[in-house]
């Protein structure tokens, strides 16, 4: 028995995600494949990739069968990072892409991410709701003409694209600890490593859908220790760790300290603007001052967008932005079809370290002193609206600048600011605080806000 129309719970704001088989099973994946084909009407084959989860092969097979039964051809590109689906979908003649993944969720979860031709995302009101409605209503019928599927190896072309962002032969032989979290990054790293002068020390490298060393999500503090320790033990120049589908990478400096992704946004923006002076850079509204300062110093134009990959990508296309960055470690590149990549950022950082001849701790430390931040603090709050209203009532008498691009943002005399926004998928409020040069004010206001948030 499959999941009935009234029981569909796995459609989220940006993708499909749920427990297998209770919320997502092969029957539903088949129906979603058919609905995707009927909605998008792709004029070329659809690339289907999958992560290393134990349920992914069966779900990918079901989605491909769904595409085929509506007359759409499929390219089965096998186990890969999400960005390889973006790469395949963007190639001339291809009609879109589906990635089977639950990213950083526990092993019992799985899901699906979607793009159409040119790797344009499908999410929320840009198509995902329509697909959900088609699945729920059963409004898709199979066709007489069946599509076909074939396996496709795009690794060589993809690797060439990645390496186009740096000059491989010019890179210093940096020592890099690379933690794939037993996810999708490992196979991609193996191929890249063969063509780079870098020296790698691999941690949790082999793909394993049971995730024996824990869920690959370096945003969680308890998932950073293995990488940090390896950096110290190996006396490495840099540590890099990935989430499960390898579309986000996280950095550790040469001392093993985790680097807030917010500061990487500024570092990468500066580098990308070097070859595109005057271009726009897109950033999210959670933490902004460091990014705005660096982008303006580099001759670029900082442009704020609502948080979320669909919003960032849409704004990037509208502005023809050279780069976009979110503090959640999503980094987007114009020359990668305005898509996010977990491989391009660390390659570019390796080039930055090579040229600067300074450690990452120094490059980032300067910015941390100028613009200290709290990092994202999550609080489990059942009533988001009441908590945000409570915070707003407290601070409004101080006449702050108010920004409602995404949740509630308030700025006070250009000395400190905060962003408070609800999660799209969980009963969580996400708080970010930053100041101009004052760690004491940062601590004071962070404590004050957390007390208000928690009532």
Cite the active site residues.
Answer: 103
Do the beta carbons of residue 186 and residue 197 sit within 8 Å?
A: no
Distance from C-alpha of 206 to C-alpha of 184, rounded to nearest angstrom: 9
Q: For residues 75 and 46, is the Cβ–Cβ distance under 8 A?
A: yes
Order of strands, edge to edge, in the sheet holding 339-340?
301-304, 280-283, 323-325, 331-333, 339-340
| CA–CA distance, 224 with 229 (Å, rounded to integer) | 9
The helix or strand, by DSSP H or E, that contains position 131, with its residue range, turns out to be helix 128-137
Residue 45 DSSP symbol? P
Helix axes 439-453, 384-395, angle to 10 degrees: 130
CB neighbour list of residue 124: distance below 8 Å, 6 or more residues apart: 13, 14, 310
Give the number of C-alpha atoms closer than 13 A to the C-alpha of residue 3, restricted to the C-beta side. Answer: 23
Helix (H, G, I), strand (E, B) or coil at 280: strand
| Residue 125 CA: distances (Å) to CA of 32, 42, 58, 91, 198 | 16, 19, 28, 25, 43
Do residues 373 and 434 touch, judged by C-beta distance below 8 A? yes
The SS3 call for residue 391 is helix
Residue 227 contacts residue 182 (beta carbons within 8 Å): no
Closest by Cα among 107, 135, 113 to 4:
135
């Amino acid at each position: 028995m499959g999941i009935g129309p009234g029981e569909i719970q796995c459609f989220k704001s940006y993708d499909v995600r749920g427990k297998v088989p209770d919320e997502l099973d092969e029957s539903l994946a088949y129906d979603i494949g058919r609905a995707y084909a009927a909605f998008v009407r792709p004029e070329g084959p659809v690339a289907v990739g999958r992560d290393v989860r134990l349920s992914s092969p069966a779900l990918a097979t079901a989605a491909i069968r769904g595409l085929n039964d509506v007359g759409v051809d499929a390219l089965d590109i096998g186990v890969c990072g999400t960005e390889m689906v973006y790469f395949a979908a963007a190639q001339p003649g291809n009609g879109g892409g589906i990635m089977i993944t639950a990213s950083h969720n526990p092993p019992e979860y799985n899901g699906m991410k979607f793009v159409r031709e040119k790797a344009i995302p499908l999410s929320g009101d840009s198509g995902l709701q329509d697909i959900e409605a088609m699945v729920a209503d059963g409004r898709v019928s199979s066709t007489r003409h069946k599509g076909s599927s074939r396996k496709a190896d795009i690794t060589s072309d993809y690797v060439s694209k990645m390496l186009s962002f740096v000059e491989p032969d010019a890179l210093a032989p940096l020592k890099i600890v690379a933690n794939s979290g037993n996810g999708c990054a490992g196979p991609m790293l193996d191929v890249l490593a063969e063509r780079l002068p870098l020296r790698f020390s691999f941690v949790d490298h082999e793909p394993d859908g049971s995730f024996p060393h824990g869920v690959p999500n370096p945003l969680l503090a308890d998932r950073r220790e293995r990488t940090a320790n390896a950096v110290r033990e190996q006396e490495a120049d840099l540590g890099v760790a990935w989430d499960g589908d390898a579309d986000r990478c996280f950095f550790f400096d040469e001392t093993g300290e985790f680097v807030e992704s917010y500061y990487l946004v500024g570092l990468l923006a500066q580098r990308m603007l070097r070859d595109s002076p005057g271009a726009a850079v897109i950033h999210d509204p959670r933490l902004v001052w460091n990014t705005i300062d660096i982008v303006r110093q580099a001759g670029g134009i900082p442009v704020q967008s609502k948080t979320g990959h669909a919003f960032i990508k849409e704004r990037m296309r509208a502005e023809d932005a050279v780069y976009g960055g979110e503090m959640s470690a999503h980094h987007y590149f114009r020359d990668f079809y305005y898509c996010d990549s977990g491989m391009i950022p660390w390659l570019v950082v390796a080039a930055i370290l090579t040229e600067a001849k300074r450690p990452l701790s120094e490059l980032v430390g300067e910015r941390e002193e100028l613009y200290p931040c709290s990092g994202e603090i999550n609080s489990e709050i059942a009533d988001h609206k009441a908590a945000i209203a409570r915070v707003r009532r407290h601070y409004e008498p101080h006449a702050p600048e108010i920004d409602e691009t995404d949740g509630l943002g308030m700025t006070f005399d250009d000395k400190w600011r905060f962003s408070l926004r609800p999660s799209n998928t969980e009963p969580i409020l996400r708080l970010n605080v930053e100041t101009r040069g004052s760690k004491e004010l940062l601590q004071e206001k962070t404590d004050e806000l957390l007390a208000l948030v928690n009532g």
